[in-house]
Structure 1
């Protein structure tokens, strides 16, 4: 990141997440009124929670992880697709993640969640579409972005089936898929670029 003028949306979203999360920590009623809650969405039609929950976090570590991911990958996507398209991809992933979580937990009215992981999952998969063989480091293990994307979705789908989980893996799946689809719709050439890179590597070109 060189300056705010180059990546205004990425930095603004980070600031919004930080400010909203801190405010929510200091104001429990605000937190409870804006987090993802199936009963409130279904019964009270509090649809705003599908968006506001994506700007709230359960603690400092939770916030730092999501903002680190957004900082690392958001600037690339904003540079490649432009600020407006980046914002669309981000919110498509955010909504996609929470809508997926709503469908998965529709019969569980007590289900609650919060965090930007659905949105950041979409940003990561969008990055993988443009740079499938960029090396990502998962803890200390290097792997091509496309391998990470496949593992990420597969593991999230598996873990989403577990009972008593504390991480909303459903949002990872929905957000990742929504971010990927939004990128393809907004930047059709990205799919051709992805195919060319994969074909070049597999074909030894």
Structure 2
């Protein structure tokens, strides 16, 4: 109960993701009616898919990876920003990632996607803003969080150009950028915290 009181939003989001994903795995109609689907949005105006698709996952591994990231980083950002502001960042990243994916795939009526990776990408970038020199790992390579953020967005942009991709890198890009902007919007002091740490490291202080 103490953990829930400290991180209510993070733990509730994890619970909803797990419950919705497990339910969808045994209910194909529910899954198809709520995943991100360009034709459903364009032709039938099913705008709920921008939100609901962020709580569905394609399998156990997909779910575990996103929930692990949310658990690790969500608790930190919820502690730093407080629950209401954290939720704004999370949903801004989720919706921003899916809007970005929609714009990128507007002409591909059969494009489908699902998962919380757009939202978790935004949470990671928010973390990088507050702790730019914390060590994160990308492809088994440890690096400062600020380098991770730049590399993450750059690699996602490159991989999104691959027509045969099975991962929705577009949502990663949009989620990361919107999560970063939302953090600055709800906590303008984040930029000062970031620049102060950068100046301290570059100045050797």
TM-score for both structures, normalised by structure 2: 0.98
- Indicate whether 1:6 and 2:20 are aligned: no
Where 1:53 maps in the other structure, the secondary structure is helix
- More off after superposition, 187-196 vs 132-141: 132-141
Contact 2:137 2:148 in 1 (8 A): no
Report what 1:146 is aligned to: 146
Report what 1:95 is aligned to: 95
Could you tell me how far apart the structure 2 residues matched to 1:17 and 1:53 are? Answer: 10
Could you tell me how far apart the structure 2 residues matched to 1:174 and 1:21 are? Answer: 22
Could you tell me how far apart the structure 2 residues matched to 1:119 and 1:35 are? Answer: 15
Note the alpha carbon deviations across 1:118-160, whole angstroms, 9 max, x for none. 0000000000000000011335421110110000000000000
Could you tell me how far apart the structure 2 residues matched to 1:137 and 1:68 are? Answer: 14
Report what 2:37 is aligned to: 37
Aligned residues: 205
Q: How much has 1:99 moved relative to structure 2?
A: 0.0
Report what 2:186 is aligned to: 186
- Indicate whether 1:196 and 2:183 are aligned: no
Report what 2:115 is aligned to: 115
Where 1:136 maps in the other structure, the secondary structure is strand
Could you tell me how far apart the structure 2 residues matched to 1:113 and 1:136 are? Answer: 27
Could you tell me how far apart the structure 2 residues matched to 1:178 and 1:141 are? Answer: 25
Structure 1: unaligned runs, 5 residues or longer: none
Could you tell me how far apart the structure 2 residues matched to 1:193 and 1:21 are? Answer: 37
Report what 1:55 is aligned to: 55
Could you tell me how far apart the structure 2 residues matched to 1:152 and 1:142 are? Answer: 13
Report what 2:172 is aligned to: 172
- More off after superposition, 2-11 vs 30-39: 2-11
TM-score for both structures, normalised by structure 1: 0.98
Contact 2:10 2:78 in 1 (8 A): yes
Where 1:132 maps in the other structure, the secondary structure is coil
Report what 1:160 is aligned to: 160
Could you tell me how far apart the structure 1 residues matched to 2:135 and 2:155 are? Answer: 19
Q: Aligned Cα RMSD in Å?
A: 1.1
Report what 1:128 is aligned to: 128
